[in-house]
Structure 1
Amino acid sequence: NKMDEKPFLTLNMSDLDEHIVPEVKKLTKSSFDVDAVVDAAGELKYLNQIKKTLQEQFKNPEENFVKFFTSKAYEGVQTAKVKAQFLEITSKALKQFLNDSINDRLKSAIGTNEEVAIKAQESPFQSVAVEAETTLEQGEEDNQKIVTTEEETDGFNIVKAILRVKLDVSRIAARDTQSYFGILCDDNNRKPLCRLYFNTKQKYIGITAGDKKEIRHPIENLDDIYGLSDKLLENAARFE
C-alpha cells in the first residue's frame, strides 16, 4: 500500500474542528465500515483542498478569481485599470462578506433575527456594484474609507443585547464614521445611545450623561462593555 502525499483528515486536539468529529466517529470500532471510510476519505481530500484554495483566494485573490466577479458586476471592457480597481474591490467585498457571516451568527446567538442596520457597511455584492460605478467614473468617495471592523460589529451586538430590555431591537441602529462607530435610537443623530471608539490603541465607549455631555469610558476588551450596562440602560431610558 502507498500512502497519499496529503492526508485526507487532520485532527488537532487543541483546536478541534466540529466538522471533523462526525468523520472521526466513522473510524471508531463500533462504526467502522471500509467502504464508507474510503468514500469519506476521497471526499475529505478534495474538500480540504478546495477550502485551502478558498482561504488563499480570500487572502490574495488571483487574476482569474477577480475576473470572475468582475464579469458579474461590470459590463464594460476589463482594461488594466479596471482589473486593478476590481482587485481592491473584490478583496474588500470578501472581507465584508466574512464580517456579514460572523454578524449573522452573532445575531443568532443573542436570540434575534433583526437585521443589523449598519449603513456604512453594505452587502459585498452591493459594494461591488456601487464601487464599480463610483470608482470608475468619479473616484473614491470619502465614505468608502470607512471600514466597519469585526470588533465594532461584535461591540454593537453586545450593546444591542444589553439595551433590548429597554428598547425594541428594531429601534437600535448603527452608523459608522471614520472617527467612531455610532449606535443610535431610531437611527436618529439626536438620540445617541453610545459611541464605540475602537480606532485607537486605547478603546473607549462614549455614553451621554444627564447633562447631554459625552463621557468616554476606557475598556480593555469587549467584555468590559457589560460592566457599563447600568450607564447604557440609564441613557437609553431617555428614549423609551
Structure 2
Amino acid sequence: MNFKDAVAGLSGRLAKAKARPDLAEEATKNAVILPFLGMLGFDVFDPQEVMPEFTADVGMKRGEKVDYAVAIDGKIQFILEAKPLNCSLSSAQYSQLYRYFGVTEVHIAILTNGAEYWFFTDIDAPNKMDEKPFFKFSLEAWDDNDLRELEKFTKAAFDIDQVQETASALKYTRLAASYITAQMQDPDDDFVRLVGRSFYDGNLTAKVVETLKPNVKRAFDDILRQRVRQRLEVALGDDEAESDPQPATPSRKDDIQTTEEEWRAFYIIRAIGSEVTDAANITLRDAKAYCAILFGDNNRKPICRLFLEGATKSVVFFDAEKNEERVYVDGADDLYKYKERIRDVVGKYANAAP
C-alpha cells in the first residue's frame, strides 16, 4: 500500500469514528491518532519509539505530561498533544504543549483532534513554540501537495533540518498569500501605487490612486478567471471547452431548460473541483425550482444549488455535513469568490468516496 492509499484508508476510518459524536480523548487516540502515527511508520507498540504520557519537570511544575513523545533512533523528534474528536483546534487550550516545548530539545510539536493535525516549530524564537502552526493537515480534505508535506514526517523521510527549512518556507508563503488575498479583496493605496508605477506615467496623486483602485481589483479578478478557465480547458479538453457543449443531465423533464448562466456556473464549479477530483465527478441536475450541482450525480452529496433566474440571484452552498448557507450573487462569475468553499466540499466528498 502506498502512502496515498494509507491516508485514504485512515480517512475512511475517521469517517466511521465520527459516527460516534461522544468519542472522548482516549477513544480518539485509539481510533485515529495512534493509527496516524502508525501510518507515518512508527511502531505504536514500542514504548521506546512512541512514548505515551511522556513526563518531565517543567519549571515549578512537577510531573508535567504530554500525550505522546515520538523518537527516532532513541532521540525524541516531536511531541503530540491529543484532543477529543469533537474539539475545535481553533479554540483548544494547549498550554502543556507550549510549556513542554520550551524545556526539551524537540523542534516539532503536533496538536490534533484526530481529524486535523497542526504542526508547530520555533521559527520566530529558538526553543519557543510559535503561536501559529506552519502546516495544517486534515484527514477530511487533503490533496497531493498536502501529502507531499505530510510525508516529510514519516519515520523513513524525517530530517529535522529539511522540516525546519520547509516550515520557514510554508510560513512565509502563508503570510504572502494572506497579504495578496487582502489586496485582491480591497487593495490599499501603497499596493495600488506599486502596481500603478508599471503602467501610469503621471504623478500618482491620492486622487489618481483612488481612480486606479477599481482597475487593480478588476485585474485580480481577471487573473483568477483566466486561471480557472485554463483549468476548465484541461478538465474538459480544449476542443470541448471551445465548443462549450452541454453535458447530458439525467432525469430531465422536457419543460426544464438549463439556462446559459447555469451552464456557465456549472463549468466554473467543475473547473474549481477538478483541482481535487476528476472533473467527471462534478455533475449537474436541473429542476424547476433550482439547478443542483452534485458530486458523483448523487443527490446525497450536494455541492450547491443555483438560483440564477430572475432579478435576485443566489447560491446555496453545502458542506460535507449537509449544512446550508445562502449567498446572493450578481451572476455565475461571482462563484470565483467562493473557490475555497467549493474546493473544500468537493475534496471532502472525494476523499470519503469508496
| TM-score in terms of structure 2 length | 0.33
Q: Report which of the two structures shows the higher radius of gyration computed on alpha carbons.
A: 2
Structure with more strand by fraction: 2
Structure number with the higher helix fraction is 1
TM-score (norm: length of structure 1): 0.48
